[in-house]
Amino acid sequence: MARKTRKIKDKWKEKRWVRVLAPDSFNNVPVAYVPITDDKNAVGRVVEVTLFDILKGDPSQHQYKLFFQINKVSEDKATTIFKRYEYSKEFLRSLIRRGSSRINFVIDTKTKDGYSFRIKVLTLSHRELNTSRKHALRLEAKKQIEKIVPQMTIDEFAQAACYGRINGDIMAATKKIIRVRHVGLEKVKLLRTSEEEVALLEA
């Protein structure tokens, strides 16, 4: 008696492809083309791109990584929210030099439209600094972020963080303490959305 052959489902045939768009703050540019099984399961998925993928400018923009989370699917398009920004590991390694101080500072802050973020600020000096100078630099970075971010919407903050405007403001403020070699937002992470005060699952 002939054995019945089981029909194997082709899962790829059940999927459809959608264009993933960056948030409004990045002009809704297409950043990925992904397969999904259904709209509900696609929501929450995180897409990783670089700043170069959005701006198509200087190749050095590849060193800045951005993460967008799908929040809505409509036909062949998926919209996203800004989820995370960080330096690439290679870029971070290239910044560290012997004979200088690395000062890190972490702060939680909220935009005026209710999005909560955790920001990790990185400051690199030209030479070794004593404890009091490091403390003064951290205080100044904290002061600037507490002054700047609560005045911004999520879109304004995402642009300012990823395009280096916040870095520039902190750098200018710290000049009165000491000239530093580098100031940047090493990592920015969304903790809570404004619609629901519920922590997003870490991707």
Q: What is the pLDDT of residues 51-97, one digit of tens each?
A: 999 988 888 899 999 999 999 998 889 999 999 999 999 999 999 88
How far is residue 177's CA from residue 20's CA, in Å, rounded to a whole number? 44
Position 140 scores a pLDDT of 93
Q: What is the pTM of this model?
A: 0.84
Burial of 61 (0-12, 13-18, 19+ CB in 10 A): middle
Position 195 scores a pLDDT of 63
Amino acid identity of 74? S
Chain-centre distance of CA 196, in angstroms? 20
Position 201 scores a pLDDT of 41
Position 100 scores a pLDDT of 86
Q: What does the block give as tokens for 87?
A: 């330096």
How far is residue 86's CA from residue 101's CA, in Å, rounded to a whole number? 20
What DSSP character marks residue 98?
T
Burial of 17 (0-12, 13-18, 19+ CB in 10 A): exposed
Q: Which residues of the chain have pLDDT under 70?
A: 1-14, 195-203
Distances (CA, A) of 190 to 51, 52, 78, 118, 134: 17, 21, 19, 7, 27
